[in-house]
Every structure is written in C-alpha cells, then in structure tokens.
C-alpha cells in the first residue's frame, strides 16, 4: 500500500478541524448560513496555518447539497472529489507556475462557462502574489464583475506584493500562527491515531520547533515516527534535530551569568561532542536570551520559545540576577556571532569568542544603581562595584576660590606686550558662569575632590580700556575663551580702540570665516563683548572688519608692523578733533596718515 504523509492524511475536512483559526472559521460559516458570501476572498498568513485547507472547505460548503450549519457533509461525491482535487468545477491553480498573462486569459475565457454539476464554479489560486503585473491587470475586470455563479479564493504568504486594486475587491482574512499548545494537542491526537506512544516532552519539542506552522509540525512528526519507532522520547527529538536539552541551556546560561568563562566553554564543547549542531545551539541560545529579555522587561506571561513553560521560574530568577542591560548586550553579541558563522569553517571559534565576551560583560545593573546614587548626591552603597573611569566622571565637580599667593604669569596666547598682573587685580571667575566663552578646564588643579586641599583658581586681570593697550586687552580675552572660540579669535590681524567704548577687530581677508563665526548671531558678538568687559571692567561695543587690501604675505607683514600701527594710533588718540569726529559719526579708524614736511630746495 502506498504511504501517504501525515500532512495529507490528517488535513482538516471541516471548519471545526482547522486548528487555531476559530474566528475565521466561524465568520465563514456565518456568511454561508446567511447567504452573504463574497465573490472573492483573500487568505493571508504564514505557511502551514490552514489557508489552502480552509479554501477547500469553503468550496465544499458552497457546493455540497447536504451542507449543514455551513459545514460540508464530506460524504457525497462532490465533497470527496473536491477533497482529492479532481472536481471539474473547483479549480486549484498554482500562482507560481501559472503566473503569466496567457494563463489568466484562459481563465477569463472559461469564467463564462457554467459549472457542470455544482452550484458555483470556484477558482482557488495559491501563492497569488507570484502573478505578473500584466496577469493581475488581465484579472482585474473579471474580478470586479464576475458572473453570479463564480467565486475566487486567493491564498498568499506575502499580501504586500498583491496590488491594491486586487486587495480592494476581496474580503481579506489574516490567518495567525498556531499556538504551541494547540499544535501539541493535535500531534497527540495523531500519535493516538497512529498507535505510537510519544512522551509529552517530545511532543512539546516538536510543537515548539514548528514555530506556529501545523504543516511543519506534522512533517517533522512524520520524520520522527520513522526515526524513533513505536516509543518516542525527548532524547529522540534532540538527536533528530541536533539540539541541546533544556537543562544544558539553563546550565550554560548560569555559567555566563556567573562570569565563569571556563565552565561556559566546557559546556559548549560537551554539547557539541554529544551531537548538538553548532548552528542549532546558537539558535537555541538566541531564543533563550530572548526569553530572558522579555522576562527582565516585565512581560511575565509572554510565551517562552526556548524551553518548556515549567522552566519559567528558573528563567525569571536568571533574568533578575543578570539584569536587562546585560541580557541585551549578550543578545547583541550572540546575534552578531551567529550572522558571521554562515559560510565559514571556524564557526566554533566564533561561538567560543561570543561566550567569552558575554561572560566578561560588566555588571551593568550594579553600575546603573551606583550612578543613580551619585546623581542624587549620595555615596554608592557599600560593596558596589563600578569602573573607576565611570566613578571619576560621576563625582560632583566643585571649584573653591582663594586669593592667589603668587603673581600670575603672562598667558601664552601668541600676543606680546602683556605685563604680569598682580593678585589685587584678579577677581575670581565663578565656575557656575553660563558664558560659553569662558574656558572651563576640568583637568586643572582647581578641580578638587572633597578630601583634597584646594588651590588657587586662574583669574583674569583688569586692564584699563585705553589706547595703546589693545594688544594686552585682547591677549587676556583670548586666554580665557573656550577652545573653539579661541581658534577664531586668535586670527585677528589688529585690535584698535576707535572711539569711546568701541573696539574694532580686523581680520585678514584669508580668515574671513573667523569673522563670520562671530556674525552668525547677535548672541555670539554679545558674548564676545562680555568677555572684553570682564577683562577691562568697561562695557564695550565690538565692530568686525576685514582687511580687503591683503595680498600674499601681507598678514605676516601687518603683524610684524604692529608697533608702528600702535604708534600711529596713539598719535590719532591724542588729537581731540579726531576723537570728537569718531564719536559724532560712529566712525571707525582705519589708518592714520601724517603730513610730511617739505624740505627746502
């Protein structure tokens, strides 16, 4: 006698036998009973969840003369012929191999032909998303206005590939994945029908492996029956699949949580030596870490996919001990290793590397607790462990200002002529200042921990805002600017006092971008003016100009000729008429020319 596979022999023959799709079955039965059957249906969902089987049952229910409450009798000639796929009025078409426009044209030509013996002519197109665009276009008009005795049932695993014009003309039913418990119960019924004794743990392993597909579970169970004989246990399933038992996964996870790298590697090699496949073990660990993740995230009732539900308390304890952050890091490390294992001959080394890295993870949960204590101003709990680098960054930073006992030296800013300042001229700058132009160096000696002696804080000298001291003023301003602002401020060609409380900064033409840096917003310039006021004690207005007459080498020449420019500036400052004119017109002093005396012939 020819053997028939389990998936065909135990295919559902009525709506009540479709496992896991009770809502869809009830909706179709109600539509048949109330004679509100649509002309086109679209069944979507993963493979092996009952789409095509439901389409056949619907076809039998519509055509069976002895149908009762929406279910076919499965005894008449019409039901038997539809079940085996030989009925002339119910046509099953494979969309993958009949995807062209010619096949759809043949379908359109036959649609108008009346059914031979049934009430309806029904077209079941499986994997309808495989049809070409011209084929869909050819089907569109027929689908929109079919004859009254024609019904279409489309099945697909990828509904996103079906055109919207087709979707809008169908009643859509989405088939969900089947629960593991439902698959296990159905497999137990098949085992009883086959006269085979199977341990519940073995049935559960097969059901979990099917990932919600009834057909996959039946195919795997069929293989298991041929492999294990009349009595089947969980060990038979692990040998067939090349997977590791639940206890081994739990022990390996415990070693990783305890950071016992040696034991983790020993358990890995013990699993491989016992016949576990490396790829299967990696998949099991990924599923195990996924279960730990959802438990650590607070989803206590979420379905476990790696071990049996009786192991839930053990996994919950491990998730609490390891912490969500560590679990996420371990999951990422293992997923990257799994992706790299494909197509390489050193997959076991990658697995070893992943396990050692996971066992070497920091205690993220403890680190988070310490940081919370530090953020609230409290000391870490006794015995808490965290990296010294993180502790250093988390400690509160304070500055204590004391009068300087030694004269400050001239800042190295690239400007000459700045005399040493005395302690009496140096008011302290508060660290809490919101001015971003003030350099805040948290690595200097003024940053003290609570148990260290304090030292003096760098201060700013007060320089009178008067002509002849522009370079001193600007050098002191630049020395206290932040790094980015300092890099632009040091590019000025000349600083000149051009009137009462007015400072003109001239940039070389080649450094026009530095000028634009301060002109982007009014706040940039105001903060620069505040920095000058902090040095001089006088509110000032800053004007920015560019030396348009710059030629190659002119910048260095101008810098070298600054003493001469300062001398001319002093001459102009000494002229009261020039000073009044600058104040009246708000003008800027660009250059000073002196009249040369004529020599006698």
pLDDT tens-digit readout, 71-120? 899 999 999 999 988 899 999 998 888 888 888 888 888 888 888 889 99
The pLDDT score that the predictor gives to residue 37 is 92
Q: What's the CA gap between 89 and 204, in Å, rounded?
A: 41
Buried b / exposed e across 270-286, counting CB within 10 Å, b at 16+? ebeeeebebebbbebbb
Q: What's the CA gap between 570 and 590, in Å, rounded?
A: 13
Q: Tokens 């086109």 appear where?
A: 40
pLDDT, average across residues 595-601: 51
The answer, as to whether pTM is greater than 0.75, is: no
Answer yes or no: are the C-beta atoms of 473 and 442 closer than 8 Å.
Answer: no
Of 42-56, 184-198, 233-247, 501-515, minimum mean pLDDT range: 501-515
Q: What's the CA gap between 204 and 183, in Å, rounded?
A: 9
Q: How many helices (H) and strands (E) does the chain have?
A: 26, 12
Q: Residue 187 has which token pair?
A: 């497999």
Of 17-21, 58-62, 115-119, 185-189, minimum mean pLDDT range: 115-119
Q: What percent of the chain has pLDDT over 70?
A: 74
Answer yes or no: are the C-beta atoms of 244 and 269 closer than 8 Å.
Answer: no
- Per-residue pLDDT band for 550 (boundaries 50, 70, 90) equals low
The pLDDT score that the predictor gives to residue 549 is 66
Q: Which residues 6+ apart lie within 8 Å of 148 measured at CB?
A: none
Residue that wins the pLDDT comparison between 260 and 455 = 260
- Per-residue pLDDT band for 583 (boundaries 50, 70, 90) equals low
Of 178-187, 280-289, 532-541, minimum mean pLDDT range: 532-541
Q: Where are the beta strands (DSSP E) in 423-475?
A: 447-448
Q: What's the CA gap between 49 and 177, in Å, rounded?
A: 6
For each of the domains in the chain, give its residue range(s) and CATH number, in order of start. Answer: 6-175 (3.40.50.300), 180-241 (1.10.8.60), 246-361 (1.20.272.10), 365-396 (no CATH), 397-403+428-457 (no CATH), 460-585 (3.30.300.180)
Of 193-197, 274-278, 374-378, 546-550, minimum mean pLDDT range: 374-378
Q: What's the CA gap between 112 and 352, in Å, rounded?
A: 66
Mean pLDDT of the chain: 79
Backbone angles phi, psi at 259, to 5 degrees: 60, 35
3-state DSSP helix/strand/coil % of the chain, to nearest 5: 50, 10, 40
pLDDT higher than 50, residue 582: yes
- Nearest of 544, 401, 541, 532 to residue 462 by alpha carbon: 532
Q: Residue 505 has which token pair?
A: 């900064």
The pLDDT score that the predictor gives to residue 437 is 40
The dihedral formed by the CA atoms of 487, 488, 489 and 493, expressed in degrees to the nearest 10: 110
- Per-residue pLDDT band for 517 (boundaries 50, 70, 90) equals confident
Q: What's the CA gap between 22 and 38, in Å, rounded?
A: 19
Residue that wins the pLDDT comparison between 548 and 149 = 149
């Amino acid at each position: 006698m020819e053997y028939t596979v389990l998936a065909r022999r135990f295919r559902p023959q009525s709506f009540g036998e479709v496992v896991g799709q009770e809502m869809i079955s009830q909706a179709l039965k109600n539509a048949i009973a109330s004679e509100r059957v649509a002309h086109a249906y679209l069944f979507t969902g993963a493979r092996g969840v009952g789409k095509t089987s439901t389409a056949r049952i619907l076809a039998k229910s519509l055509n069976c003369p002895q149908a009762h409450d929406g279910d076919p009798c499965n005894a008449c000639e019409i039901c038997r012929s539809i079940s085996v796929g030989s009925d002339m009025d119910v046509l099953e078409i494979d969309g993958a191999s009949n995807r062209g426009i010619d096949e759809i044209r043949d379908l359109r030509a036959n649609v108008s032909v009346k059914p031979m013996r049934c009430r309806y002519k029904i077209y079941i197109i499986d994997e309808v998303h495989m049809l070409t665009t011209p084929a869909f276009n050819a089907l569109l008009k027929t689908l929109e206005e079919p004859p009254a005795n024609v019904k279409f049932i489309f099945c697909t695993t990828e509904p996103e590939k079906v055109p919207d014009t087709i979707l809008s003309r169908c009643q859509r039913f989405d088939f969900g994945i089947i629960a593991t418990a439902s698959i296990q119960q159905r497999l137990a019924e098949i085992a009883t029908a086959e006269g085979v004794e199977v341990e519940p743990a073995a049935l559960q392993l097969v059901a979990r492996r099917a990932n919600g597909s009834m057909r996959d579970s039946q195919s795997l169970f069929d293989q298991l029956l041929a492999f294990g004989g009349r009595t089947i246990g969980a060990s038979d399933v692990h040998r067939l699949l090349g997977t590791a038992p639940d206890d081994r996964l739990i022990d390996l996870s415990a070693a990783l949580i305890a950071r016992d790298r040696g034991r983790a590697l020993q358990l890995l090699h013990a699993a491989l030596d016992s016949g576990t496949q490396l790829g299967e073990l990696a998949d099991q660990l990924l599923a195990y870490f996924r279960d730990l993740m959802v438990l650590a995230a607070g989803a206590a009732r979420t379905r476990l996919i790696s071990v049996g539900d009786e192991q839930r308390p053990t996994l919950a304890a491990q998730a609490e001990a390891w912490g969500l952050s560590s679990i996420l890091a371990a999951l990422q490390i293992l997923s990257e290793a799994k992706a790299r294992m494909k197509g390489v001959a050193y997959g076991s080394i990658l697995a070893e590397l992943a396990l050692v890295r996971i066992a070497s993870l920091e205690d993220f949960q403890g680190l988070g607790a310490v940081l919370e204590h530090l953020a609230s101003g409290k000391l870490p709990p006794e015995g808490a462990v965290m990296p010294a680098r993180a502790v250093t960054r988390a400690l509160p930073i304070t500055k204590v200002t004391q009068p300087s006992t030694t004269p400050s030296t001239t800042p190295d800013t690239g400007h000459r002529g700045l005399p040493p300042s005395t302690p009496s001229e140096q008011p302290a700058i508060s660290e809490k200042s919101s001015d971003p132009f003030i350099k805040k160096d948290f690595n200097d000696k003024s940053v003290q921990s609570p148990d260290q002696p304090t030292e003096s804080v760098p201060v700013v000298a007060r320089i009178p805002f008067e002509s002849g001291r522009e370079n001193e003023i600007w050098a002191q301003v630049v020395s206290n600017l932040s790094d980015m602002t300092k890099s632009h401020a040091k590019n000025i060609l000349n600083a000149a006092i051009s009137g009462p409380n007015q400072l003109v900064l001239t940039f070389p033409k080649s450094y026009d971008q530095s000028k634009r840096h301060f002109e982007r917003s009014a706040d940039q310039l105001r903060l620069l003016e505040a920095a000058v006021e902090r040095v001089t004690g006088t509110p000032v207005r800053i004007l920015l100009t560019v030396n348009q007459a710059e030629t190659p080498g002119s910048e260095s020449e101008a810098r070298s000729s600054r003493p001469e420019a300062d001398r001319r500036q002093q001459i102009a400052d000494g002229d009261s008429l020039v000073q009044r004119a600058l104040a009246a017109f708000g003008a800027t002093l660009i250059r000073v020319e002196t009249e040369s005396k004529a020599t006698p012939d």
